[in-house]
């Protein structure tokens, strides 16, 4: 039996509530990347900055390995007992991970236990954020009205980027107004993780009061054996492979121009930490504002043209953009080059959530969106920073630019061969 229709007020509350919860989750996740340049020496004994950053990036990458497990666990929970409950559980887990990082003593104090606890915290956060993506993408797509799905679901990346912006904003405040460089390196880096744990309490309250989606409520009578199981998911091999293919190039480009870019500007372009933070903040703010514009555009012209635009431009311009960026000496030239790259990447980021949600039936949607996506991100997005630093250490940094290009080209082939999900959406059957 169908549940009573969701009102406009409930829809808006759901989009806002789901998005803010998503923002807090991603803030916690990105605080690690933003503050790694300050806390890497606290957890590892090596005095070489590049080696410390590689160790910290390694743990960042290992955190990604938990994301497929999180995508599986929380995707199954969302498909079996509800999107709302799964999102509430994931934010609780993220809060605990942040608190653990904030309270872990340094390597000088407890030795090898310090990096071990840091690793444990990242594993928990990886589990949480792995579940977060698939469930929130499903929730936002299902809550959106039919003709505004691209627009509404784009807010997932608005809040994903917003989490990164808050992390950078707090970093700028600490750098410019409150603490010295020495204070930041000694203890100030702990502050954002404490803030993250506190913000999670707000997100928990918001998510506890969300409305469940009609798509989930309407499938309550479906057999439990068909809900959120890998067996049922494997009956949709084409959709599974499509998620992997369309994610591969996009996630690598996204993590290169967002989380890794701050370190690239310090390590390769030789800007100061403060300059790199400011460039990252401004470019990401504009990037976040672009997502609903591109999402709304996809509601008018379809999803496929945007994906093809990203694939073609990304394949042609990744090497020239990164090469120019690596040799520039101007802070504002660096900003313009990064901005050009982020505009290209918006063709993927703004609509990837809704495209994936439109591929699967509601009884396995959260699992179908979350698991293959998390696997792809773990392999290609999570390792982007580590691979980039490895190429740099080997003296062949430009190889990384070609690696990104190859991955985007692979995704372009997938975009060229797929149908426009706006026209074939499974959400229309809910």
DSSP character string of 4-55: PPPPHHHHHHHHHHHHHHHHHHHHHHHHHHHHHHHHHHHH-----HHHHHHH
Sign of CA dihedral 39, 41, 43, 44: positive
Token pair listed for 360 = 């699967």
Q: Cβ(350)–Cβ(298) under 8 Å?
A: yes
**pLDDT at site 47:** 62
Residue 2 in tokens: 């169908």
pLDDT given at position 18: 77
Q: What does each of the 430 residues of the chain score in pLDDT, given as a tens digit?
A: 444 566 777 777 788 777 877 888 788 878 887 787 788 778 777 666 666 667 777 776 777 788 899 999 999 999 988 888 898 888 888 888 888 999 989 888 888 888 889 888 888 888 988 888 888 889 888 888 888 899 988 988 898 889 888 988 898 899 888 888 889 888 999 999 999 888 888 888 878 778 787 878 776 666 666 677 888 999 999 999 999 999 999 999 999 998 788 888 988 888 888 888 889 889 999 999 999 999 999 999 999 999 999 999 999 999 999 999 999 988 999 999 999 999 999 999 999 999 999 999 988 999 999 999 989 988 898 788 889 989 988 989 899 999 999 999 999 999 999 999 888 888 877 6
| pLDDT, tens digit, 9 for 90 and up, residues 345-373 | 999 999 999 999 999 998 899 999 999 99
What was the pLDDT predicted at 1?
40
Residue 115 structure tokens: 């990096």
Pair 29, 163: CB distance under 8 Å: yes
Cα distance between residue 356 and residue 358, in whole Å: 5
CA geometry: angle at 377 spanning 64 and 99, to 5°?
30
Let me know the angle formed at the C-alpha of 239 by 238 and 243, rounded to the nearest 5 degrees: 115
Evaluated on CA atoms 35, 41, 42, 46, the torsion sign reads positive
Report how far apart, in Å, the C-alpha atoms of 179 and of each of 102, 104, 351 are. 17, 21, 39
Tokens of 28: 């916690």
> Tell me, what's the pLDDT at 223?
61
- Look at residue 429 in the predicted model and tell me its pLDDT: 76
**Cβ partners under 8 Å of residue 151, min gap 6:** 144, 292, 295, 296, 299
The token pair that represents 356 in the structure block: 């994936």
So what's the pLDDT on residue 225? 66
CA separation, residue 243 to residues 49, 65, 371 (Å) = 37, 18, 9
Q: CA–CA separation, 42 vs 19, rounded Å? A: 33
Q: Which token pair is 282?
A: 């401004």
Provide the 3-class DSSP secondary structure of residue 236.
coil
What does pTM read for this prediction? 0.84
pLDDT value at residue 220: 67
Q: Write b or e for each residue in 284-317: b if 16 or more Cβ atoms lie within 10 A of its Cβ, otherwise e.
A: bbebbebbbebbebbbeebbbebbbbbbbbbbeb
What's the full length of the chain, in residues?
Answer: 430
């Amino acid at each position: 039996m169908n549940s009573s229709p969701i009102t406009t007020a409930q829809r808006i509350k759901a989009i806002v509530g789901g998005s803010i919860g998503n923002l807090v989750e991603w803030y916690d996740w990105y605080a690690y990347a933003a503050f790694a340049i300050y806390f890497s020496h606290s957890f590892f004994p090596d005095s070489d900055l590049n080696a410390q950053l590689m160790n910290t990036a390694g743990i960042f990458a290992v955190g990604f390995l938990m994301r497929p497990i999180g995508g599986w666990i929380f995707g199954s929970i969302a498909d079996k007992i509800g999107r709302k409950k799964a999102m509430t559980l994931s934010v609780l887990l993220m809060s605990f991970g942040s608190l653990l990082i904030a309270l872990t003593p340094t390597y000088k104090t407890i030795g090898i236990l310090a990096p071990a606890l840091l690793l444990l915290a990242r594993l928990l956060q990886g589990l949480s954020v792995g579940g977060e993506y698939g469930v929130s993408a499903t929730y936002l797509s299902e809550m959106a009205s039919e003709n505004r799905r691209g627009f509404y679901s784009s807010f997932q990346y608005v809040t994903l980027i917003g989490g990164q912006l808050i992390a950078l904003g707090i970093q700028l405040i600490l750098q410019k107004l409150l603490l010295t460089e020495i204070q930041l390196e000694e203890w100030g880096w702990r502050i954002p993780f404490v803030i993250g744990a506190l913000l999670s309490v707000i997100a928990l309250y918001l998510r506890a009061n969300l409305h469940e989606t009609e798509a989930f409520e309407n499938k309550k009578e479906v057999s439990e054996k068909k809900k959120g199981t890998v067996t049922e998911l494997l009956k949709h091999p084409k959709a599974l492979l499509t998620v992997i293919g369309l994610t591969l190039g996009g996630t690598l480009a996204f993590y290169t121009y967002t989380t890794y870019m701050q370190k690239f500007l310090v390590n390769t372009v030789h800007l100061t930490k403060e300059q790199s933070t400011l460039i990252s903040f401004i470019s990401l703010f504009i990037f976040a504002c672009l997502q609903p514009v591109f999402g709304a555009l996809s509601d008018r012209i379809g999803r496929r043209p945007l994906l093809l635009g990203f694939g073609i431009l990304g394949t042609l311009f990744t090497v020239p953009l990164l090469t120019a960026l690596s040799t520039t000496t101007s802070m504002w030239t660096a900003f313009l080059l990064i901005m050009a790259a982020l505009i290209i990447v918006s063709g993927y980021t703004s609509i990837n959530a809704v495209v994936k949600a439109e591929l699967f039936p509601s009884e396995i949607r959260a699992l179908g969106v979350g698991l293959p996506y998390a696997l792809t991100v773990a392999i290609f997005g999570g390792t982007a920073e580590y691979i980039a630093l490895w190429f740099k250490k080997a003296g062949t940094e430009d190889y990384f630019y070609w690696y990104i290009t190859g991955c985007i080209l692979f995704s372009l082939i997938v975009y060229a061969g797929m149908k426009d999900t706006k026209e074939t959406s499974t959400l229309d059957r809910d």
